[in-house]
Amino acid sequence: MDFHLSKEQEMVRKMYREFAETEVKPLAEEIDEEERFPMETVEKMAKLGMMGIYFPKEYGGAGGDVLSYAMCVEELAKVCGTTAVIVSAHTSLCCAPIFEHGTEEQKKKYLPDLCSGKKIGAFGLTEPGAGTDASRQQTTAIKNENGDYVLNGTKCFITNGNVADTFVVMAMTDKSKGNRGISAFIVEKDFPGFSTGKHEKKMGIRGSSTCDLIFEDCVVPKENLLGKEGQGFKIAMMTLDGGRIGIASQALGLAEGAIQEAVKYTQERVQFGMRLSQMQNTQFQLADMECRTQAAQHLVYAAAMKKQEHGDYSKEASMAKLFAAETASDVTRRAVQLFGGYGYTREYPVERMMRDAKITEIYEGTSEVQRMVIAKYMGVK
Amino acid sequence: MKIIVCVKQVPDTSGKVAVNPDGTLNRASMAAITNPDDLNAVEAALVLKEQTGAEVIVVSMGPPPAEGMLREVMARGVDRAVLVSAREFGGSDTYATSQILAAAIDKIGVDKDDIVMCGRQAIDGDTAQVGPQIAEKLGLPQVSYAAEITKEGDTITVKRMLEDGYMTIKVKTPCLITCIKELNTPRYMSVGGIYECYSKPYEIFDYNTLKDHPFIDKDTIGLSGSPTNILTSFTPPQKGAGMMLEGADKATCEQLAGILAKKHMI
C-alpha cells in the first residue's frame, strides 16, 4: 500500500490543521460544556468546501477524494470530536447515499445544497427496537392513491437530527419480505408529518445534535424513493461501510489529539524532581499509544483509498473502524492516566477526548458488528 | 482589470530561528511560509476581485521550490502565478530585487485600470523597501501602509495607518499599494481551490525571459548588482525585566530622573 500523499492531499491537510487549530479548538470545551451545536463552525466549513469534499464539482462538491475527506475528519477530531462527527454524518450518511444511489434528478436537486453546506444532512436507520439488529425495522412506508409513500414510525439516536434539512431514511415497504422489504427515502424536514424529538443528553460528543425522528403520516413523494423498492437495507449497509471510514477517522483523530496533549503535559509536569516525560513508564506508555495510533492510521487510510478506487472496501472499513475506535478509547484513557488528577478535571481536554472516544466503539456499527463483518469476509462461519 | 500581487516565501520566524556560522539565516533548516503581510495583500486583491471581477496574478522571485507557496496562494482564489527565478537573480538585495520584479510586472503589463499590491515588508529582512522601489521604477503612484481600501471607478481611497494616526488619501489607477496586517484577515485555502490550483496557469520568468528589459542589467541585478553589503548578522540580546519604582514622593521622582539622566534620556 502506497501512502505517499499527493501535493493536493498534503496541502488540504495543512489547511484542515490550520482551520482546526484556529477555528475549532477554541470552541471545543464550550460546546461540550453547553451541549451546543456549533453552527458558526459549520458555516465556516461550508465556505471552504468541507461539507462536500469528495463529490464532483458538477454537484456542488469540492472535487477532492475520499482520503482528503478522511483527513478532514481526522484533523477536526484531534481538537473536537463533535465537529468531526458533524462532517462525517453529513457526508457519509446523507450526501454519499444520494450520490451513490440517487437518480440524476435527485442528485441535482439535493447535492448542491448539501455539498455547499447550505443544508445539513442526516441518516435515519436506528429505531428503539432495531439497533445492531437493523433489519427489525418498524417504521412503515405505505403507498397512497397517488403512488406517494406515507411513513409512520420513529427513528432514534439520529446524529445531526435537530439541525438537518435533508434525511436519508429507511422504512418497511413490505414487511413480509424482511430485509428485502426495506426501502430508502429522501425526506425533507418540512414534509408534513415529520418532526424531531428532544435532544439526547450524551456522555460525549455533547455538542453534536442527537434526537428522534418522528413520522406521523408523513407523505414522501414517490420521486424521493432512493434506489428501488426493497433496496433500502442494501443501501443502508453500503452507506454504513462509508460511514465507518468517517468514524474511524474521528477515532484516529481523537487518539492523535490525546497523544499531542499527553506529550505536551508530561514534558511540563514535574514530580519527584523530574519531568514526567523523563520517566520510563511515561515513555513506554506514549510509545505504545503512538504505535497503536500509527497502525490505526494505516488501516483508515487504506480503507479510504480502497473506497476511492471503487473496490469492495467493507472489510477494510470495518477493520479500520474496529481498530481505530478501540485505539481511541485505549489511548485517551491512558492519556487521562498520565495527566493524573488534572486529567480527570475539565481544566484539560483529555477527559473530554476520553468521553468522545467511547461512542466510536458503538455508533455506525458496534465493535462487535465490525468483528462479525470481518469474520464473514474471512469465510469464518 | 488586473491586480498583480507580489509575494515572498520567507522562513517561519515564529519557530526556531537557525543561523549559519557566518551569521546569515539558515533558510534550508527552517520551515518556509508565505510572508504574512503579503497574504493581506492577496486577500485585499481577492476582495477587489469579488467586487470587480478583476484577474488576480501573483508574482514572486525565488528558487523553484517557491512553486508550492504560489500554488497555495492560487488555492485561495488567485487566478495565475509567475515565478521569477534564475541563478543570475540570486543574492539580490532590495534594490536589485525591485529592479527584477519591476521588469517582471512590466512584462505582465500594467494597464490603466490595474493595481499592483505588496505586503508592507517581509519578516526576514523587515526593510519595507521593495514595494516602494517597484513603484518608483514603474513610475506608479504609491500608497504605503494601507489599512483600508475602497475602490470607486478608477479612484481608490486608502486609509493609511501611521505611527501617530491615520491618513486617508485618494489615488487613481494604475497605482501600487502596500498592505499591513490590520487591513484584513486572510482567508483559508478552500478544498475546491486546492484541487484546482495545480491546473491554473503557472509561468516561470527566467533570465532569458527578462534579459531584454531595460531594467535588467548585469550591474544592477543579483549579488554583484546589489549595493547592500551585510557585514554580520546577530541576534540582539534579550531585554531584561524592567525596573519598577513605586511611590510618588520626591525621593522616588529624583531617583527616576537620575536613572533617565544617566541613560541620557533626559
**Secondary structure letter of residue A92 according to DSSP:** I
Which amino acid type is present at position A129?
G
* Per-chain mean pLDDT for chain A: 97
Q: How far is B77 from chain A (nearest CA, A)?
A: 11
Q: How far is A95 from chain B (nearest CA, A)?
A: 17
Instruction: Using alpha carbons, list the distances in angstroms from residue A72 to A306, A361, B33.
Output: 17, 20, 22
d(CA A105, CA A191): 19
User: Taking the C-alpha atoms of A90, A95, A101 and A105 in order, what is their torsion angle to the nearest 10 degrees?
Assistant: 140
**Predicted-assembly ipTM surpassing the 0.95 threshold:** no
Confirm or reject contact between B7 and chain A (CB < 8 A): no
Q: Name residues of chain B where pLDDT drops below 50.
A: none
Q: Which residues of A are annotated as catalytic?
A: 364
Q: How far is A307 from chain B (nearest CA, A)?
A: 19
How deeply is A36 buried, as exposed, middle or buried, from its count of CB atoms within 10 A (0-12, 13-18, 19+)? middle
Nearest Cα to A103, choosing from A222, A192, A237? A222
Does the distance separating the beta carbons of A18 and B191 come in below 8 Å? no
pLDDT of residue A2: 66
Which residue is associated with the grid cell 418497511?
A172
Find the CB nearest A49 among B71, B192, B197. B192
Q: How far is A206 from chain B (nearest CA, A)?
A: 27
Confirm or reject contact between B195 and chain A (CB < 8 A): yes
Nearest Cα to A375, choosing from A312, A296, A318, A305? A318
Nearest Cα to B82, choosing from B203, B177, B192, B193? B203
How deeply is A287 buried, as exposed, middle or buried, from its count of CB atoms within 10 A (0-12, 13-18, 19+)? exposed
Confirm or reject contact between B106 and chain A (CB < 8 A): no
- A1 confidence band (pLDDT: 50, 70, 90): low
d(CA B41, CA B69): 15
What three-state secondary structure class fits B166? strand
Q: How far is B114 from chain A (nearest CA, A)?
A: 28
What three-state secondary structure class fits A76? helix
pLDDT of residue B15: 73
Chain B residues with beta carbon closer than 8 angstroms to that of A14: 72, 189
Does the distance separating the beta carbons of B188 and A11 come in below 8 Å? no
Residue range A112-133: mean pLDDT, rounded: 95
Find the CB nearest B198 among A7, A12, A19. A7
Nearest CA in chain B to A62: B192
d(CA B198, CA B74): 9
CB-CB contact of B18 with B33 (8 Å):
no
Does the distance separating the beta carbons of A15 and B189 come in below 8 Å? yes
Q: In this structure, is the dihedral angle defined by the CA atoms of residues B101, B106, B111 and B112, taken in order, positive or negative?
A: positive
Residue A228 CA from chain centroid, whole number: 26
Nearest CA in chain A to B72: A11
Find the CB nearest A48 among B71, B191, B198. B191
d(CA B262, CA B266): 8
Strand partners for B4: B57, B116
CB-CB contact of A233 with A169 (8 Å):
no
Residue range A141-165: mean pLDDT, rounded: 97
How many other C-beta atoms can be found within 10 angstroms of the C-beta atom of residue A191? 18
Strand partners for B169: B158
pLDDT of residue A140: 97
Which chain B residues in 55-84 lie under 8 Å from chain A, judged by CB atoms? 68, 71-72, 75
d(CA B57, CA A99): 36
Which residue is associated with the grid cell 465556505?
A47
First CA to last CA across chain B, in angstroms?
54
pLDDT of residue B30: 81
C-alpha cell belonging to residue B133: 522601489
CB-CB contact of B78 with B5 (8 Å):
yes
For the segment A8-46, what is each residue's pLDDT rounded down to a tens digit? 999 999 999 999 999 999 999 999 999 999 999 999 999
Residue range A308-321: mean pLDDT, rounded: 95
Q: In this structure, is the dihedral angle defined by the CA atoms of residues A38, A40, A41 and A43, taken in order, positive or negative?
A: positive
pLDDT of residue B163: 87
C-alpha cell belonging to residue B54: 478583476
Strand partners for A271: A274
CB-CB contact of A114 with A50 (8 Å):
no
Is residue A127 over pLDDT 80? yes
| Parallel/antiparallel/unpaired status of strands A274-275 and A270-271 | antiparallel
For the segment A191-209, what is each residue's pLDDT rounded down to a tens digit? 999 999 989 999 999 999 9
Strand partners for B178: B118
Does the distance separating the beta carbons of A7 and B68 come in below 8 Å? yes
Chain B residues with beta carbon closer than 8 angstroms to that of A18: 188
Find the CB nearest B194 among A11, A18, A19. A11
Nearest Cα to A185, choosing from A146, A144, A227? A227
| Parallel/antiparallel/unpaired status of strands B155-162 and B142-152 | antiparallel
Is residue A342 over pLDDT 90? yes
Nearest CA in chain A to B75: A11
Helix-strand-coil percent breakdown of chain A, rounded to 5?
55, 15, 30
For the segment A256-302, what is each residue's pLDDT rounded down to a tens digit? 999 999 999 999 999 999 999 999 999 999 999 999 999 999 999 99
pLDDT of residue B24: 64
